[in-house]
Amino acid sequence: MHNETLRPETTPSTLTSFTPNVDASKLNHAPGSLVDKYGRRVSYVRLSITDRCDFRCTYCMAEEMTFLPRHEVMSLEECLQVAKVFVGLGVNKLRITGGEPLVRKEAMWLIERLGALPGLDNLVITTNGSQLDRFAPQLKAAGVKRINISLDTLKADRFKTITRIGDLSKVIKGIEAAQAAGFKRTKLNAVMMRGTNDDEFVDLVQFAIDRELDLSFIEEMPLGEIHGRNTTYISSEETRELLAQRFELIPSTESSGGPARYWRIPGSESRIGFISPHSHNFCDTCNRVRITAKGELYPCLGQNDAMHLLPILREAPGDEAPLRQAIMDSMGIKPFGHDFTQQMDSPQVVRFMSMTGG
């Protein structure tokens, strides 16, 4: 555990004690729910437990990353305390992210305790798959409901180029290990990049169908000081039109509780999803917030305003009241939405995706 006292960070000038100006009961929200000023209930938290990763994906981080010193990262006990408070405020879905969460020492200690939290219906994890060969059975036993695995290519040499240091065979073994452990609806996430993997979209769909996996295609997002995305960006609509030449895609109303919009292929159990932060902004129904490994609560992935929870955790260890109030107040800075389209070549959010936790 870390007990160092941190200097309180400056919070946005607009952050004050917040009370929703909407009647939650009229919106069919349960009493005590987290509700923002637009009447949206926050029921989903993405919790990063490390900024470190064993890959260096080009769209996610710099090749020479400077990672956080240990004392600036939430301890696992602090992560658990944050999760408990959120669940107490009606959050029923928690996604564990990184970096790569399974490289965090003793990560399973935390995951086992999260899986036992009363009221948490959906504990899920996003991973690059490199550690699943070791951890899949333990994750299943701990109560993890579903796994998302990043996979942008099926070509080993290309995989090495995208991840800089990754080994595709380890990820394939990880996918197989997750299935062997009994995980259902395992989902692959593929970031769409023109000139990099756009010739593999059909192959990725067929790979998912053959293994009864779900697959989501993700529009590239302008996070971190990475320029030139205007030349690599591909819209969901363009990819869908490409896939329609090979597969019959039927719109589905299914939801996994996140931003993906799903399509079905007749005769297949797989769902093909599209996450479209540019072309089909999903902000009006946003139900989530993100917590970084250093305890920053970001109400919006595409904005810089944050509530800094780590100083609160360490100034009053074990006292949940200040933490609960800070989380409730953060709803006052949750914006209606973001505008990634205007930021493609001039990112306004300079933190890398690996720092935000996906």
**pLDDT tens column, 83-126:** 999 999 999 999 999 999 999 999 999 999 999 999 999 999 99
Instruction: Evaluate whether residue 62 is within a structural domain.
Output: yes
Q: Mark the binding-site residues for [4Fe-4S] cluster, compressed into ranges.
A: 53, 57, 60, 283, 286, 300
Count helices and strands in the chain by DSSP H and E runs:
11, 12
CA distances from 67 to 9, 70, 153, 216, 268 (A): 19, 9, 26, 28, 42
Tokens describing residue 203:
């192959």
Instruction: Evaluate whether residue 85 is within a structural domain.
Output: yes
Distance in angstroms (rounded) separating the CA atoms of residues 205 and 66:
35
Domains: count for the chain: 1
Banded model confidence at residue 301, pLDDT cuts 50, 70, 90: confident
Question: Does pLDDT of 64 surpass 90?
Answer: no
Distance in angstroms (rounded) separating the CA atoms of residues 253 and 24:
25
Instruction: Evaluate whether residue 47 is within a structural domain.
Output: yes
pLDDT digit string, tens, across residues 213-262: 999 999 987 654 544 556 889 999 999 999 999 999 999 998 877 788 99
Question: Does pLDDT of 311 surpass 90?
Answer: yes
b/e map 289-322, b = 16+ CB within 10 Å: bbbbbbbbbbbbbbbebbbbbbbbbbeeeeeeee
Domain that holds residue 238: 36-356
Task: Please check whether residue 125 is in contact with residue 152, taking contact to mean a CB–CB distance below 8 angstroms.
Answer: no
Distance in angstroms (rounded) separating the CA atoms of residues 216 and 237:
13
Instruction: Evaluate whether residue 16 is within a structural domain.
Output: no
Instruction: Evaluate whether residue 78 is within a structural domain.
Output: yes
Q: Mark the binding-site residues for GTP, compressed into ranges.
A: 46, 95, 126, 187, 288-290
Q: Mark the binding-site residues, compressed into ranges.
A: 46, 53, 57, 59-60, 95, 99, 126, 150, 187, 221, 283, 286, 288-290, 300
Instruction: Evaluate whether residue 14 is within a structural domain.
Output: no
Reduced to 3 states (helix: H, G, I; strand: E, B; else coil), residue 254 is: coil
pLDDT digit string, tens, across residues 312-324: 999 988 899 999 9
Q: Mark the binding-site residues for S-adenosyl-L-methionine, compressed into ranges.
A: 59, 99, 150, 221
